[in-house]
Amino acid sequence: MTTAQTSATGTPSLRGEPILVVEDLSVTFPTEDGPITAVQDLTYTVEMGKTLGIVGESGSGKSVSSLAVLGLHDAKSSRITGSIRVGGTEVVGLSESQMRKLRGNRVSMIFQDALAALHPFYKIGGQLAEAYLVHHPDASKRDARRKAIEMLDRVGIPQPDRRVDDYPHQFSGGMRQRAMIAMGLINDPSLLIADEPTTALDVTVQAQILDLLQDLQREFDSAVIIITHDLGVIAEMADDVLVMYAGRCVEYGTTKEILTHPEMPYSWGLLSSIPDVSNETGGRLIPIPGNPPSLLSPPSGCAFHPRCAHRDKVPGDLCTEKLPQLTPASSGTAHIKRCHLANPDQVFRTEVLPMIAPDLAEEIR
Amino acid sequence: MFAFIVKRLISGVVVVALVSMAIFVLFWYGPSSPAQPICDRETSNRCTPERLEVYERTLGYQNPVWKEYGKFVKGVFVGREITIGATTYQCDAPCLGYSFRTKQPVTEEMIERMPATFSVAIGGAFLYLLLGVPIGVAAARRRGSLADKALVSSFLFISSVPYYLFALLMWLYLTVKFEIPFFAETGYFPFTDNPAKWFSGLFLAWLALGIFGCTQYTRFTRGAMVEALSEDYIRTAKAKGLPPRTVVYRHGLRAALVPIVTIFGIDFGTLLAGTIFTERIFDIQGIGWWGLQAVYGRDLPVVSATALFSAVVLIISNLIVDVIYSILDPRVRLS
């Protein structure tokens, strides 16, 4: 594509300074069977008002890396190296009490499956008010309640002054996730991390929740990280995409770049495995063969090589022996990928695209 | 909620009626005549068939069982006259019979015994929770640490000793061997007479019950807390920026409390129904002690009264547990 579009990620945009800078982040959990490195050498930035989508399969490290931003890993059972800066504040190694001031305040997180993530024994309003009060110690309970009602109203809960006294189980699935979002935004965070916010919801509600998140992001002007395995969600929400595999970043760039010119076979696999319900032209659903790798003994070289269909295009045993570095993609420096393939763009156009979107491939040709 | 309680009370009454019937029938068709014990007692173990016949007749044991049960039920509600041998006693409602040994109304004796048992039960149960829950929470927070492992195994050791042995050893060492003055005189002394004596007399019994019982509560609390602390809503609470104490107690313990309260209700009911070993070892003359004496003396009216009493107490404590459960867990709707 054009360089004008890609440069938006490479350099700070007009919207402002980066709110989150992650550099060389590694998260290791020592276990009885040996250390598990769930995240390795991860580097990314999120700017104010922007949305970063992190995609990957279960166990690819997408949630672990985000929990590290909030410092939610137990210090005794995890080792975190590298740097995470939230609005210039270094988070790695920050004291627990300092960290608490950040959590739910400047950075907040919403989780998948709001039924499990909300406390079943406390009223929705009480849980929202608690989140407000912990960061506004001078506020009265009445203020907190008013704030909770206001937030429920903003996320589109009908009759918020009555529903505020409901328990989570009295809400529908979509309403619970709305309440969860209201709780995440109650302290007007600069960064909102949404960990698969729509996974437990049905499709129509998913779309509503995504719309809501986008509206609120505009309203609050906060940065958003959306963690998902659904490229559909990414296409709708994200400005930038980070594709993770086995704890590492394998491709990173603007959403448009990644979705139209992916240069890493794993990203191709993700694109191929999106079911296309509107298209009847014979686009096939192609699953990625094999299973996500064990993090205890990750494959040598490129972690994706056991599942990669394009290994034979790389000379020698490069894929099995040498970990590919993150290198600029053919379209520009703002798009980086981790792959040994010499001409991934061409492979994608001639081999992958005709399989998943024949009419689109036709067009390009 | 109100309808639920009424419904449960009605079914409770039915259960009590069935229990009383079962007890009545079991004694009626027992291996020896129900009049045998009183006859033995009154004749200094020289009960002739003729004498036995007199007791059987006056106590109504020659009538059909349902007729006598009817009399018993009537006695409970309006009172009745009871003839033992040559003497007739007036037994006022709620009449549970006359003790064969003391010739006193069973109901009166039972009411006399209650304060002792209730004192033991309340103090013991209080210690169960006071020791068991905080230790369990602490162990759950330090799960897998050396302290946790040492605690779990030492508590397993205590709870694998039979309770009567544990209580007896406590009494033998603290009262008899070391002669600690505070534990010198165990027993029940009415609170209204001398609160200090009431306290010191019962303290060893509470301690025995509390230490032994808290091992179970520690294990239980630890398990419930470990489970609660791994829930998603705990992660949410942490992500809100709440301090650890709030996360552990307001969010974790609040959820873990539900199963703890459930077993506590049942245990407390069992304690209220009489703690036979505790009362016997520490010489506390409560319901358990009274029931034990009655068994020794084959005092049928008292034995059946204690059985009935435990049934009533357990039914009530179950009902209370259910009501508390619905208060603790808003998802539970009583109907």
ipTM of the complex: 0.86
pLDDT at A151 > cutoff 90: yes
Q: Does domain A2-238 have CATH number 3.30.365.10?
A: no
With beta carbons under 8 A apart, name residues in chain A contacting B243: 100, 134
> Is B249's Cβ below 8 Å from some Cβ in A?
no
In this prediction the pTM is 0.83
Q: Which two tokens stand for residue B256?
A: 């873990």
**Percent of chain B with pLDDT strictly greater than 70:** 99
Mean pLDDT rounded to a whole number for chain B: 88
With beta carbons under 8 A apart, name residues in chain A contacting B254: 119, 121-122
* Contact predicate B209/B130, CB 8 Å: no
Cα-Cα-Cα-Cα torsion B33, B38, B39, B45, nearest 10 degrees, comes to 110
Q: Which are the contacts of B304, defined by CB distance < 8 A and separation ≥ 6?
A: B20, B23, B24, B27, B96, B97
> Is A92's Cβ below 8 Å from some Cβ in B?
no
With beta carbons under 8 A apart, name residues in chain A contacting B257: none
- Residue in B204, B197, B201, B205 with CA at minimum distance from that of residue B121: B205
For residue B12, the surrounding DSSP H or E stretch is helix B2-28
Q: In terms of C-beta density within 10 A (0-12 exposed, 13-18 middle, 19 or more buried), how is residue A100 classed?
A: buried
The pLDDT, as a whole number, for residue B31 is 75
Distance from CA of B235 to the nearest CA of A (A): 8
Considering only alpha carbons, which residue of chain A is nearest residue B251? Answer: A119
**If you average pLDDT over residues A171-181, what whole number do you get?**
93
Q: In terms of C-beta density within 10 A (0-12 exposed, 13-18 middle, 19 or more buried), how is residue A183 classed?
A: buried
> Is A14's Cβ below 8 Å from some Cβ in B?
no
> Is A316's Cβ below 8 Å from some Cβ in B?
no
**Percent of chain A with pLDDT strictly greater than 90:** 52
- Sign of the alpha-carbon dihedral angle for A132, A137, A141, A147: negative
Q: What is the pLDDT of residues B56-77, one digit of tens each?
A: 888 888 888 888 889 888 988 8
Confidence grade of residue A198 (pLDDT, cut at 50, 70, 90): confident
Considering only alpha carbons, which residue of chain B is nearest residue A193? Answer: B239
Q: Contact B242/A134, CB-based, under 8 Å? A: yes
pLDDT at A13 > cutoff 90: no
DSSP-derived secondary structure for B128-139? HHHHHHHHHHHH
> Is B329's Cβ below 8 Å from some Cβ in A?
yes
**If you average pLDDT over residues A107-126, what whole number do you get?**
93
The pLDDT, as a whole number, for residue A12 is 38
Q: In terms of C-beta density within 10 A (0-12 exposed, 13-18 middle, 19 or more buried), how is residue B210 classed?
A: buried
Confidence grade of residue B192 (pLDDT, cut at 50, 70, 90): confident
pLDDT at B327 > cutoff 80: yes
Q: What is the pLDDT of residues B1-49, one digit of tens each?
A: 788 888 888 998 999 999 889 988 888 887 777 788 888 888 888 888 8
Which of A69, A121, A196 is the best substitution to test chain B (most B C-beta atoms within 10 A)? A121
**If you average pLDDT over residues B84-103, what whole number do you get?**
85
**3-state SS assignment for residue A22:** strand
pLDDT at A51 > cutoff 90: yes
The pLDDT, as a whole number, for residue A1 is 37
CB nearest to A116's CB, from B232, B242, B251: B232
How many other CB atoms are found less than 10 A from the CB of residue A138? 6
Residue with more model confidence, B149 or A281: B149
The pLDDT, as a whole number, for residue A279 is 58
The pLDDT, as a whole number, for residue A46 is 94
Separation of alpha carbons A255 and A342, rounded Å: 22
Q: Which two tokens stand for residue A152?
A: 């429920």
Residue with more model confidence, A11 or B48: B48
With beta carbons under 8 A apart, name residues in chain B contacting A169: 330-331
Q: Which residues of A217-235 are buried (b: 16+ CB within 10 A; e: fewer)?
A: beebebbbbbbbbbbbbbe
Q: What is the CA radius of gyration of chain A?
A: 21
Residues of B (165-184) whose Cβ lies below 8 Å from A: none
Domain segments of chain A as ranges: 2-238, 262-364
Cis peptide before A35 (omega within 30 of 0): no
Q: Tell me A76's DSSP state.
A: T
Q: Which two tokens stand for residue B57?
A: 């007749």
pLDDT at A222 > cutoff 80: yes
